Structure 1
Amino acid sequence: MVEAVVGICVITFQQEWAPRPVVGATLAALGTAACALGDVLSSPGHVPEPAPLVRLLFVAGLSRAAYLVVRARARAADRSAG
């Protein structure tokens, strides 16, 4: 559940505030680290599952790519309309 909330936050952050890519990547890395740490602390001796953590980073990358595509298309539409 925590991975889902962190994933939503990473996606929303990139779409709403359009930060530089470094900020979004840092947020995704921190969220991934926090989820992994939470897995380890919640049950000692437990190794974090890699799939949700990789999925979080993948979703962050897709979110950034979608933002860039939409922004490029909107600028192209503005240029053609003007």
Structure 2
Amino acid sequence: MAHSHGAPAHAARQLAHFFGQIADTTEWNHACWQGLFARLLGAGKTPAELTLGEIQNAVDQVKARWADCQGTGPRAVS
């Protein structure tokens, strides 16, 4: 029996978005990675305790702080 609930599909898209954003960080330069680690460590939790929302927030903060998190060197956003 097939179900046509919108919620599971929406949740699947959200998970794909979160993991896609996290995967994109593997292409970041060293300075951006350091910024991300600092924010994650600053949460005061073990990696297993971090939520997807907290990780996404840290990724968003780094992206907002640095104009280019994939180039050869970060340019701080003023």
TM-score range, shorter chain: 0.3 to 0.5
Please state which structure has a larger fraction of its residues in helix: 1
TM-score by structure 2 length? Answer: 0.33
Q: Which structure has more RCO (C-alpha within 8 Å, separation ≥ 6)?
A: 1
TM-score by structure 1 length? Answer: 0.31
